[in-house]
Amino acid sequence: MVRARGANVAAGPTLAVVAREAGVSVPTASKVVNGREDVAPETRRRVTEALDRLGYVRRPRFAGAPGLVDLVLHPLDSSRSGAVLSGVEAAAYEAGLEVVVSAAPARGRDARSEQGWLDKLTARGSSGVLFHTAEPSAAQYAWLDHHRIPYVLIDPVHEPPAGVVSVGAANWQGGVCATGHLLELGHERIGVIAGHRRTLAGEARLAGYRSALASAGVRYRPEYVRHADSDEAGARLRTHELLDLPEPPTAVFVCSDRMALGVYAALAEREVRVPEEMSVVGFDDLPEARWTAPALTTVRQPLAEMAATALRLLVRMTHGERPEGTRTELSTRLVRRASTAPPPTARPTAYGPVTAQRPTA
Amino acid sequence: MVRARGANVAAGPTLAVVAREAGVSVPTASKVVNGREDVAPETRRRVTEALDRLGYVRRPRFAGAPGLVDLVLHPLDSSRSGAVLSGVEAAAYEAGLEVVVSAAPARGRDARSEQGWLDKLTARGSSGVLFHTAEPSAAQYAWLDHHRIPYVLIDPVHEPPAGVVSVGAANWQGGVCATGHLLELGHERIGVIAGHRRTLAGEARLAGYRSALASAGVRYRPEYVRHADSDEAGARLRTHELLDLPEPPTAVFVCSDRMALGVYAALAEREVRVPEEMSVVGFDDLPEARWTAPALTTVRQPLAEMAATALRLLVRMTHGERPEGTRTELSTRLVRRASTAPPPTARPTAYGPVTAQRPTA
DNA sequence: CTGAAAGCGCTTACAG
DNA sequence: CTGAAAGCGCTTACAG
């Protein structure tokens, strides 16, 4: 049986062991660890190599010190990240842990800084790392495994390597719910604004859409499927494309609430009324979904709970336990608000061009 | 001259000093510090007292360990907090520091847990604390001063005690800008949805509104000023009150973008069109301001920059420097988008009752 | 319950 | 540049 990655208990070597291995004294090894300049290049290389090979991690100072868990967030300032942070913090508080937050090392920071981040992690002794959206690089995976620092992925964008523990949402089920809701209302021309291709969530939500159509016996139309860049601007563009179709849809399933904001903007520009002329369903149930006009019907994804679950899994891994499964999915559910209604009876077959271009900043 | 609070350099006593002071051995003092059970109550009391009197803080393990800065956020999951976190993290990264995030100890957590938080802080050796929105309690101020842990307040809600260093926004100026913009467009009947009374930002923004009216020679009408609970729901209610006035305003200055969402909701319920029938100006320039329909004209408050400034001040205080002033204000500026326009020429004097109550979740 | 003794994992100062 | 020696601030194990 394959050992779960990142599930080992730390009991690594001391500096003395590393020094012996490298054939130097403890003070010299100490200098290398602390990045002092007064070490011969060849000596530094030998020590670094030993440090690396043995997976050296500085000992936590003493048992009583509160454990530190790392949370890597990307971006730092989004509703999604806020929900994740809040879930992780609450669960960490319960577990007596504290949370160190950092931006994904990728964000405009080079490989050198990525290594710097890893160095800090081991220097201060992290109990484990939680990654949100931003997945670790191959080098990071290797380093973490090597230094026996456990980690869990929260809602990873792509399929993680085998054995990596992750927590996600029931995306396929959510796609089925959203589409099923529109079908029940009587829609048959249902568009989709999907996110990036080849992402876990994107593929699953789209598959849910197709499944729902299929089981309702509604024809799947490729021209109704538009992939956007997961942000408002992309979704806005794709919505215009849907409206330009000879036979535009009467409803759209938008694969994220953020993108739904872009869809709303496009519909406003074309003076298409929601939900009278177009029904819109989002995905995520971010705070803003309550305050759009009209309030957005959406699929609730329990981000905070997912984050809390990830923290708890991480704590168990810290104690040497191995989670039963490698992937945990929390269920999603439809939240009905004001952006969906039965299709217009008149059934317009085309919308005019952009009319009221409002000034924007 | 008054010494800035929280501006001391730590050089506190060691455990040995504390033990001598309490008349016990170092191991015994160590037990108390680590919360062991096997200490006589009277001994524990003496040690605790000495620990407290001397302001004991565990020594950071060694110079090379990355410093940890604490950020206390309330709430954890809001656009404001996201901006603050992102500003703090970026500046901390520049300074080689890492950020430990925690929820305001107040949030459903008792006094015991507040003390627990402070204990953790000193146990792991925090370089300093940044408070956002949630101000420290009197006990926390005392503890931090005593343990020589520096702190800075980011956009505090209330006037902080003398000597406390804080970073805020030019709220008065922002109020002047927002109101001035509406006046320039030709509005004379300008309502305000203000936040809580007796808050720093609230008072200043409202004062800015009054100053702008005064210098334009426009009459101040008390009935146009409504205080809400700083959230969407409160603002929504107050907006209905404004619309119910015999002579409702033709524009509203809303003292936060979050409240502006509530104002939009109320206006949609009454079928009052923005900006044709009602101009709306917000405050903050949160991400959502770009994606409301119509996009919100608002006063930009540089939250991330404010947070970064606070971090930098904190770092200087850590080095024993004392900032020149006790309060730093970053300037605000108007961001014109699509929610403001000249007043309607027809000038309706009253709006009907709620008509199209849309179903809500 | 207490504390002398030993020990931990490191760092620092300095002689070579 | 290197490392023996001394030291740091604490913790642990255990005798009393």
User: Minimal Cα–Cα distance from B297 to chain A, Å?
Assistant: 8
Q: Does A67 touch chain B (CB under 8 A)?
A: no
Q: Which residues on chain A are in Cβ contact (under 8 Å) with B76?
A: 82, 85-86, 89
Q: Is B5 a residue whose pLDDT tops 80?
A: no
Closest residue of chain A to B303, computed from CA coordinates: A77
- Kindly give the confidence (pLDDT) of every residue in chain A, 361 residues in length, as a single tens digit, with 9 standing for 90 and above: 233 343 333 456 888 888 999 999 988 988 887 777 788 989 989 988 888 788 777 665 544 556 789 999 989 999 999 999 999 999 998 888 889 999 976 445 566 577 778 877 777 778 889 999 888 988 889 888 877 788 999 999 999 999 999 999 999 999 999 999 999 999 999 999 999 888 999 999 999 999 999 999 999 999 999 999 888 999 999 999 999 999 999 999 999 999 999 999 999 999 999 999 999 999 999 988 988 889 999 999 999 999 999 999 998 888 778 887 899 999 999 999 999 999 998 554 556 554 444 444 3
Q: Is B175 a residue whose pLDDT tops 90?
A: yes
Write out pLDDT tens, residues B99-125: 999 997 644 556 657 777 887 777 777
Q: What is the pLDDT of residue A252?
A: 98
Write out pLDDT tens, residues B254-286: 999 999 999 999 999 999 999 999 999 999 999
Q: Do A123 and B66 touch (CB under 8 A)?
A: yes
Q: Do B123 and A65 touch (CB under 8 A)?
A: yes
Q: Which pLDDT band, with edges at 50, 70 and 90, does B358 fall under? A: very low
Q: Is B177 a residue whose pLDDT tops 80?
A: yes
Q: Does B102 touch chain A (CB under 8 A)?
A: yes
Q: Does B81 touch chain A (CB under 8 A)?
A: yes
B19: the nucleotide nearest its CA (via C1') is: C3
Q: Does B286 touch chain A (CB under 8 A)?
A: no
Give B254's strand partners.
Answer: B193
Sign of dihedral through CA atoms A114, A118, A124, A126?
positive
Write out pLDDT tens, residues B184-233: 999 999 999 999 888 999 999 999 999 999 999 999 999 999 999 888 99
Domains of chain A: 171-301 (3.40.50.2300)
Q: Which pLDDT band, with edges at 50, 70 and 90, does B288 fall under? A: confident
Determine if strand D comes within 7 Å of the CB of B34.
yes
User: Minimal Cα–Cα distance from B86 to chain A, Å?
Assistant: 5
Q: Which residues on chain A are in Cβ contact (under 8 Å) with B335?
A: 361
Q: What is the pLDDT of residue B227?
A: 96
**% of chain B surpassing 70 pLDDT:** 88
Q: Work out the mean pLDDT of chain B and round it to a whole number.
A: 86
Please compute the mean of the pLDDT values over residues B31-43 and round it to a whole number.
82
Q: Is B287 a residue whose pLDDT tops 80?
A: yes
Q: Which pLDDT band, with edges at 50, 70 and 90, does B237 fall under? A: very high
Please compute the mean of the pLDDT values over residues B34-52 and round it to a whole number.
84
Q: What is the pLDDT of residue A318?
A: 81
Q: What is the pLDDT of residue B111?
A: 61
Facing residue for B295 by CB, picked from A86, A262, A360:
A360
Q: What is the pLDDT of residue B351?
A: 63
Q: What is the pLDDT of residue A321?
A: 80
Footprint of strand C on the protein (CB under 7 A): A 14-16, 26-27, 30-31, 33-34, 58-59; B 24-28, 31, 37-43, 62-64
Q: Is B63 a residue whose pLDDT tops 60?
A: no
Q: How many CB atoms lie within 10 A of CB B329?
A: 17
User: Minimal Cα–Cα distance from A60 to chain B, Å?
Assistant: 9
